[in-house]
Amino acid sequence: MNETVNIRELNDLIASKASFLSMIRNGMDRRIVGQKHLVDSLLIALLCNGHVLLEGVPGLAKTLAIKTLASLVDAKYSRIQFTPDLLPADVIGTLIYSIKRESFEVKKGPIFANFVLADEINRAPAKVQSALLEAMQERQVTIGDDTFPLDRPFLVMATQNPIEQEGTYPLPEAQTDRFLLKVVIGYPSKEEEKVIIRQNIHGAQEPVHAVIRKEEILEVQKIVEKIYIDEKIENYIVDIVFATREPSKFGLPDLQSIIAYGASPRASISLALASRAYAFLQGRGYVIPEDVRAVCHDVMRHRIGLTYEAEANNIGADEVITDIIDKVVVP
């Protein structure tokens, strides 16, 4: 009985705090046509205090979406354009000698912000990509002998272009695993494209203003942490992840030769976190199986390694995840 009352109270609390979601969506709609899934994915990452990797061909408003979201939150924003000649110090900062003080001083890099746009992240070499690892995972940066905690909320929003191979460096698995979500976005519909043309031929973009402070974001993140996940839902999440490691035990023997390696324990954690955030977007204080299924592709697609046989048969991670979701028993 107490549990029911708590969930009811949590639902009321979510209803009272969720008004900013409509304001953020309205603000995004002023700049971006369509791409509802992209907007929801960015909100999920923000609510979970996670990071998001956006993949899509040029011109799909990836950078615009991220920049607009940062404008709607009254927090510090920085943009890093990743290029082949970028150095780790260009990201995290370095020590600079001060003649006046006759000592070295810390010059902080653009990573010291609440929203960091890592534009075309796969254009920088591995040593620069790895400079992000400590910041993304530990929420801190080490420069010289000093370690600096990063301000919260801290969200790395990276974009990458999948169609170009020349001059790009594929992200290592250790780094992609640190992104809560990998969101793949496609082309707009004909009607949406006509609206995009009309908006852009006039030149000026709709102005957007901050609708929420970063302190309020932190409060909402604490509410999301309270969203109830039943043990049956936990078992469902674990079954989905284990089906990527031992597919034959879940009635999917055909996937045994398709999957080179399954999802890591971080996938289970991310699936639970993203499911709670999705439940919050729906105005619920508890997670249901549909929440898990809704975020499963974005959470898992970059955490499953496929064999050469999968590539030869043109089988992608999304198809594998769909097969697993359809097979694993729903509680």
Q: Compute the distance between CA of residue 313 and CA of residue 327 in angstroms, rounded to an integer.
A: 21
pLDDT of amino acid 251: 86
Contacts of 269 (CB under 8 A, 6+ apart): none
pLDDT of amino acid 169: 73
pLDDT of amino acid 107: 86
Compute the average pLDDT of residues 40-69: 85
Report the CATH number that the domain containing residue 236 is assigned in CATH.
Answer: 1.10.8.80
For the ranges 50-59, 283-292, 318-327, which has the lowest average pLDDT? 50-59
Contact 234, 289 (CB under 8 A): no
Give which of 103, 105, 132 is closest to 117, Cα–Cα: 132
* Same-domain pairing of 197 and 321: no
* Same-domain pairing of 141 and 237: no
| pLDDT tens figures, 220-250 | 999 899 899 999 999 999 999 999 999 888 8
- Say whether pLDDT at 12 is over 60: yes
* Same-domain pairing of 11 and 112: yes
* Same-domain pairing of 139 and 270: no
pLDDT of amino acid 236: 94
The DSSP bridge partners found for residue 116 are: 78, 156
* Same-domain pairing of 52 and 105: yes
The distance between the two most distant Cα atoms of the chain, rounded to a whole number of Å, is 71
Please say which residue of 161, 190, 216 terminates a domain. 216
* Same-domain pairing of 11 and 56: yes
- Say whether pLDDT at 5 is over 50: no
DSSP 88-128: HHHHHEEEEEETTTTEEEEEE-TTSSSEEEEETGGGS-HHH
Give which of 206, 58, 41, 52 is closest to 118, Cα–Cα: 52
pLDDT of amino acid 2: 37
| pLDDT tens figures, 101-136 | 778 888 888 999 989 998 888 888 878 877 787 788
Average pLDDT, the chain: 85
DSSP 180-235: SEEEE--PPPHHHHHHHHHHHHT-PPPP----EEHHHHHHHHHHHHT-B--HHHHH
pLDDT of amino acid 135: 84
My answer on whether omega of the bond before 188 falls inside 30° of 0, hence cis, is: no
pLDDT of amino acid 84: 86
Please say which residue of 191, 216, 241 terminates a domain. 216
Residue 48 within any structural domain of the chain: yes
* Same-domain pairing of 172 and 97: yes
* Same-domain pairing of 169 and 246: no
* Same-domain pairing of 93 and 194: yes
Pairing type for strands 115-119 and 155-160 reads parallel
Total number of domains in the chain: 2
More confident residue, 137 or 235: 235
Report the CATH number that the domain containing residue 173 is assigned in CATH.
Answer: 3.40.50.300
Residue 221 within any structural domain of the chain: no
Does residue 152 sit in helix, strand or coil?
coil
Contacts of 264 (CB under 8 A, 6+ apart): 177, 303
- Residue range(s) defining the domain that contains residue 272: 228-327
CA 234 remoteness from chain centre: 21
Please say which residue of 159, 191, 216 terminates a domain. 216
* Same-domain pairing of 29 and 133: yes
* Same-domain pairing of 133 and 21: yes
| pLDDT tens figures, 167-177 | 677 777 777 88
In this prediction, residue 64 has a pLDDT band, given cuts at 50, 70 and 90, of confident
pLDDT of amino acid 252: 86
- Say whether pLDDT at 196 is over 60: yes
Q: Compute the distance between CA of residue 177 and CA of residue 74 in angstroms, rounded to an integer.
A: 28
Residue 222 within any structural domain of the chain: no
Does residue 16 sit in helix, strand or coil?
helix
- Say whether pLDDT at 164 is over 70: no
In this prediction, residue 1 has a pLDDT band, given cuts at 50, 70 and 90, of very low
CA 311 remoteness from chain centre: 25
In this prediction, residue 205 has a pLDDT band, given cuts at 50, 70 and 90, of low
- Positive or negative, the CA dihedral 193, 195, 200, 206 is negative
| DSSP classification of residue 160 | E
> In this prediction, what percent of the chain has a pLDDT beyond 90?
23
- Say whether pLDDT at 42 is over 80: yes
* Same-domain pairing of 72 and 177: yes
- Say whether pLDDT at 276 is over 50: yes
